[in-house]
Amino acid sequence: MWPCYPAAMLTSPLLHQTPHILHGFGTRHDDLAACFPALWPRRPIQHERHGTRIAIVTEPNQDGGEADGMFTDRPGLLLAIATADCVPILLARRDGAEVAALHAGWRGAMHGIVDAFADLVRTRGGAPGDWIAAAGPAAHACCYQVGPEVVDGFVERWGFAPEVVAPRPRMLDLPAIVRLQLARAGFASIDARTECTMCHQRDDGHHTFHSYRRDRATRTPVVDVHWSAIAIAPR
């Protein structure tokens, strides 16, 4: 049923050990329709806006509206998010009964999408400590240059040390920021892929990932993205 899973996709060791969970972080070379053939055509969708809204989805093909996160407790619903430098975050409750996927760009991270998800978990009677969080490939501080107002915003709003936000002047470490936010929000089990979407290359010298910033002048919007996905396996 899962011809590409897990060998041809990047995965999280923590999520890989979680019962009933299917997941993967795609590269520019992965076809998730082929990797998840039974689930991809009926997946819920969201329209990402670099915000903090999280849609609760319960039906196949559900349109979650403008959102940068999806949550479900229904088996067989593939939560798929598109990124091209932002941080994809896949989450699962330890018992595999609930899953979520978040799209965290610097704007979403600045405005607290991780905290918004933690609040949703608590509202539903759960606790972030009962969840596993895995961050996927994203632009790292080796390549991700931003304006000083972005760095200053994270320092002032979140109280993070300047050298954590930007190890070098104006070079944002968004994955590190997201990991700190996850830990601060109460997620005790966290792991992260280390690949930078802007510079990571395959053995043949080709870039592994699409990058909005690296390929700004030549990329095709909406098309040149990679997908990360998570689902509770159909019973």
Say what the pLDDT of residue 9 is: 84
Question: Does 2 fall in a domain?
Answer: no
In a domain, 189, yes or no: yes
CA 61 to chain centre: 20
d(CA 109, CA 181): 8
CA distance 232 to 235: 9
Query: Is 40 a member of any domain?
Result: yes
Provide the whole-model pTM. 0.96
CA angle 31, 37, 39 (to 5 degrees): 110
- 111, part of any domain: yes
Q: Does 6 fall in a domain?
A: no
For residue 184, the domain's CATH number is 3.60.140.10
Which parts of the chain sit beneath pLDDT 70? Answer: 1-8, 222
Is 7 within the bounds of a domain? no
Does residue 123 belong to any structural domain of this protein? Answer: yes
Q: How many domains are there within the chain?
A: 1
Burial environment of residue 153 by CB neighbours within 10 A (0 to 12, 13 to 18, 19 or more): middle
CA distance 165 to 12: 24
Radius of gyration of the chain measured on its C-alpha atoms? 17
What is the per-residue pLDDT for 4? 56
Q: Which domain holds residue 41?
A: 13-232
Q: Is residue 5 part of a domain?
A: no
Query: What are 38-50's pLDDT values in tens digits?
Result: 999 999 999 999 9
Residues 82-102: tens digit of each pLDDT: 999 999 999 999 999 999 999
d(CA 95, CA 130): 8
The b-or-e profile of 25-53 (16+ CB within 10 A means b, else e) is bbbbebebeebbeebbeebbbbebebbbe
